[in-house]
Structure 1
């Protein structure tokens, strides 16, 4: 695996509030990202940078409550497009507006259309956020121009991740996904009843990996009070392409995060569960034991 090079990222807080507007840029790169909470949209209206040709992202909660929802777009005047979405789109809470930081190297319409198309495809491929929009058109351009924009895209991806929105990052790198056997030292398994689930405890919570199978039984008396909401979540996951049903078993079609090990284990076991006891490594050590090594 290629080792990532060190990066210096500058984040400015115009109002000195870490929960407010942020402006992020990588040293010696031409793009910068404005993170704008929806409630503070008017506070950037006088900044020249947000009046230029822009790529933008909207982030918020969706009614399925399965993944954060995102919308990707482009605009000739970034701030005006965000004003339009403020009046017409309900779901979003935060916008990230990507612009250039020099007048000489500003984006043109074709640039942001290409970046929009690329960003949409990369976000759908990663599967981390729910993307509900039409597929953006891909403009034609010279290969040299595409190469420059794809280099810029890498910087955009880095800035978004730094600002807390890793929309282009899957939960696993490709090498890990293709070689589960080589990563078993890091994996945790849940086999209670006939559950056949595996995943990883990370800083984002517990990630249940695709291919995991739920228990075939959810009839435990102690679980009955939780069953209606549990079944609703299963149907939402199926609608969102996270789960499918095969031969009477629910199977994960993609990696999915849960807020805690217990939330993950209770879902896959379809029963009350303590995740620190029910998730075990290949040697049979519980997550609780591993956390106290």
Structure 2
């Protein structure tokens, strides 16, 4: 079970969508979050004068989902200013520094390499990075410290709306508060000669590795919901889906934002995931949720 923690969010300019300084209680990680338009005003912040790692996020060129860039700077400010002039996609930035300025160049290179590796493994958001750096050599003590710092960062990012580094949780970890049983049982989605299994989690709807999806989508989905066709192709391009005979197969557990999106991409047609996903007894996810709400 994850350990509860508290975050302190300081809205520095009084605008909830403007500059925010985020700190985790009793931890050294501090995040600076701001929209791109505010860089000229916030670049003098002391946090941006420190050594750290940063994320740039914004819409993909095709408009379907987000794009992510992971970088490091010693200090951060010149690197973000360079991207302000040269990278068009990003609309917001998140910089991470250590309270007291304890990070050095090797530390942030380690954090950058780890974050890129995590994003590539999760395959939830495509990377704008052209290079995938190796981890630098750190002392045993520094490496241990940076793993703790990274863990604190990864705990803060979902609260800030960034899920790019999250792997699908194991079904054994998706439990009730009383630790007695899964939130929902394993569910199944079948049709057109394929079947997939999955379950609901706090991150979204998880489709399990080994699940199968149809190889082709119906024409109406291509015409009326082209974004869904693009998302399927993204899964093929990233290796989450591979050809398996006359169907496609999931190579890893993968988190979708909803059971409906999962069902649509599996069946290749528009459908309602809350009625299409069923447990072993044939009860739909909708029925299970209604029963849970009324208990």
* Shared fold per TM-score greater than 0.5: yes
Please show how residues 1-293 of structure 1 align to structure 2 within 5 Å.
3-63=1-61, 68-102=66-100, 105-133=101-129, 134-173=131-170, 186-202=185-201, 204-215=203-214, 223-227=218-222, 229=226, 231-293=229-291
Q: Alpha-carbon deviations, 1:186-234, whole Å to 9, x = none? A: 322111332211222345543333322113675xxxx432245355543
Q: 1:57 to 1:282 in 2, by over 3 A?
A: same
Q: 1:285 Cα shift?
A: 0.2
Q: What TM-score do the two structures reach when normalised by structure 2?
A: 0.83
Question: Residues 215 and 48 from structure 1, CA distance in 2 versus in 1: closer, same or farther, beyond 3 angstroms?
Answer: closer
Whole-Å Cα distance in 1 between the matches of residues 64 and 182 of structure 2? 27
Query: What TM-score do the two structures reach when normalised by structure 1?
Result: 0.84
- RMSD of the alignment, in Å? 2.7
| Paired residues of 2:123 and 2:238 also in contact (CA < 8 A) | no
Which SS does the other structure have where 1:214 is aligned?
A: strand
Unaligned runs of 5+ in 1: none
Deviation at 1:31, TM superposition (A): 2.2
Across the two proteins, how many residue pairs are aligned to each other? 281
Q: Deviations over 1:39-76 (max 9, x none)?
A: 22223122112111111111223346676332211111
User: Is the Cα–Cα contact under 8 Å of residues 194 and 247 in structure 2 kept in the other structure?
Assistant: no
* Runs of 4+ residues over 6 Å off in structure 1: none
1:10 offset after TM fit, Å?
0.9
Indicate conservation of the 8 Å contact 1:194/1:216, yes or no: no
Q: Which moved more, 1:266-275 or 1:144-153?
A: 266-275
- What secondary structure sits across from 2:197 in the alignment? strand
